[in-house]
Structure 1
Amino acid sequence: MPTHLSNILKKSKQLFDSFFESYTKELFSPKTRITDACMYSLSAGGKRIRPIFVINSFFNPEDLLKESDHKKHKSVYLASLAVECIHTYSLIHDDLPAMDNDDTRRGLPTCHIQFDEATAILAGDTLNSLSFYLLSLLDSKDPNTIRDSIQILHQGAGIRGMILGQMEDIEEEKNPSYKDLESKLTSIHEKKTGALIEASFRLGNRLRPDWKEREAVLSSYAKEIGLLFQITDDILDVEGNLQELGKTPGKDAKAGKLTYPGLYGMNTAKKLRDESVEKAITLVSALPSLNNEFFLGLPKYIAERKN
């Protein structure tokens, strides 16, 4: 990974984690069993990749590396935390016995194992509703910013986005169609994984004054990143190990899930991954404000990750 991209990712995560630690102290006070469960899952580690997408869709790299005051750009961090809350809620629910029934997440016991199933369900519900509350606090001179941001997150996480992708995934697992599997696989992962990733990029961009001129290209790029992220995830589920992944590998094949290696074979899956990297780079190369170290370096970083 290029040194400058490494610095950008490190700085982005530091900024988010600093805001997260200070803001959640008040947000989850007083302490209760449900706040403990929420914080357990939110603080369990993870790469904070979706908040990083929000942050870097707002800042130019040179401005990001100088950023030090959360108060000046608080809305960016609120949007980042909203996305992380939605993502964490989805992981809590995804791990439940009725869903993927997993007992390890980010190298730790899953929420329903650490607490209990009812508490995990309520913790997920809490984080889901909390994310939209956080967006209601955005500060902008544009009166439509809050409305648009709530709609963007709903599109990514709601009934036409992540939720529908989860439903299609469950239906395919229980009742395999054996018809047009390529389209079914694309449909599942565009929604289940890609929709929230796209929303993360769009949320950060929406807070910029020049958001309109960047939105179309950035949305196309984000869709490609979502695809790339899922192909890489599917490959890692086959080739990864528990220590690196932080979750149980090989579960997709055992559950009969539709995956890129399962449908195309590993060699073709890796070829599709590499083609996705090039497509993403080509998309942002044409727009000056997106032609920078973060957007150009991110695809290779995602393709080469180990967890």
Structure 2
Amino acid sequence: MPNSFESILLKSKQVFDSFFESYTAKLFSPKTRITEACLYSLHAGGKRVRPIFVINSFFEPNDLFSSEPFDTHQSVFLAALAVECIHTYSLIHDDLPAMDNDDTRRGKPTCHKQFDEATAILAGDTLNSLSFQLLSMMDANDPNLLRDSIQILHQGAGMTGMILGQMEDIEEEKNPSSNARESKLESIHEKKTGALITSSFLLGNRLRADWKEREFVLTRYAKEIGLLFQITDDILDVEGNLAELGKTPGKDAKAGKLTYPSLYGLEKSKLLRDQTLGKAISLAAELPSLHNEFFLGLPKYIAERKN
């Protein structure tokens, strides 16, 4: 059985991409300007990390490495696609002139630059609403599954999760707080980045029969992964370049955003990243009934990424 983190990561992305290509061809038909804009952003070359979190929170490796796991577990892949739609919508809106005003995303023109601002707004709206439709299409032998799944995704993406984090980020940029900046920074990023990451893990887990046994530790692990992801992002915005990042570096400092390097400095930010990496690895060892090769290897992969 393949047991390295790299092989599991690669296989997870392969099976999701296979499902994604076949399913979205039908989903975004007939062709319109809105579907073109949606597909443009969905095909912009993301790493698919959130769908991969959904997939690996459900599958054991022997199931994942079967020939076509989505033939018998389509609900998992519908949940994974729902998360990718939410994430892509958030990027489209985040790049808009009223938000971060960015021209480049994943090395390509942002949606509003490729099309126009109104089309980008509507494409984001489309992907947001579509994600909940995808959840509604899951097989639900458990009468509470659909309700729980919708709640999990909304908690990650909605007005108490990602959207609130975005709002707090904008408010902080316009009116920087004079005190309690550590707690403000933690609050922004726990919601803006971490909430949807946590939802991704919990959605895949909720589809398992033994989901209750794993939910507590998996939630703690997911929160450390979300924090690790954001600290690394903040460091990359300082040290990265356009070719590697696929987006404009240095924008956080120019905009006066509250980030880990702006508050703590680069060296302490790297120390915090390494401490969070260690916490995530320790929690991975506590996860019951999970193929720990993936969950043990994931924190290092996130901390060492270049984009």
1:16-57, Cα deviation, whole Å (9 max, x unpaired): 110010001111000000000000000111100000000000
Aligned-pair CA distance for 1:3: 7.9
Secondary structure, aligned partner of 2:24: helix
Unaligned runs of at least 5 residues, structure 2: none
2-structure distance, mates of 1:247, 1:240: 10
2:149 — aligned with what?
Answer: 149
Deviation at 1:128, TM superposition (A): 0.2
* CA shift for structure 1 position 163: 0.2
Relative distance call for 1:221 and 1:101 in structure 2 (3 A) is same
Alignment of 1:199-278 (within 5 A): 199-278=199-278
Determine the C-alpha separation between the residues in 2 that align with 1:73 and 1:92.
Answer: 29
What is the CA-CA distance between 1:150 and the residue it aligns to? 0.3
- Counterpart residue number, 1:304: 304
CA distance in 2, matches of 1:217, 1:284: 8
Moved over 3 A (4+): none
Percent of aligned pairs with the same residue? 79
Further displaced range: 195-204 or 68-77: 68-77
Asked if the contact 1:5–1:293 (Cα under 8 Å) also holds between the matched residues in 2, the reply is yes
CA distance in 1: counterparts of 2:98 and 2:59, whole angstroms: 40
Q: Which residue of 1 aligns with 2:72?
A: 72
Structure 1 unaligned regions, length at least 5: none
Q: Is the 8 A contact 1:169 1:188 kept in 2?
A: yes
- Find out whether 1:192 has 2:192 as its counterpart: yes
Q: Aligned partners of 2:80 and 2:234: how far apart in 1?
A: 26
Residue 173 of structure 1 pairs with residue 173 of structure 2: yes
Structure 1 length-normalised TM = 0.98
Indicate the SS of the match to 2:70: coil
Instruction: Tell me the matched-pair count.
Output: 306
Flag the 1:58–1:176 CA change in 2: closer, same or farther, 3 A.
Answer: same
Q: Is the 8 A contact 1:241 1:248 kept in 2?
A: yes
- 1:62 deviates by 3.2
User: TM-score, normalised to structure 2's length?
Assistant: 0.98
Does the 8 A contact of 2:214 with 2:288 survive in 1? no
Letter of the structure 2 residue corresponding to residue 91 of structure 1: L
Structure 1 residues 46-78: Cα deviation after superposition (integer angstroms, max 9, x where no partner): 100000000000011232123524220000000
Task: Provide the residue aligned with 2:105 in structure 1.
Answer: 105
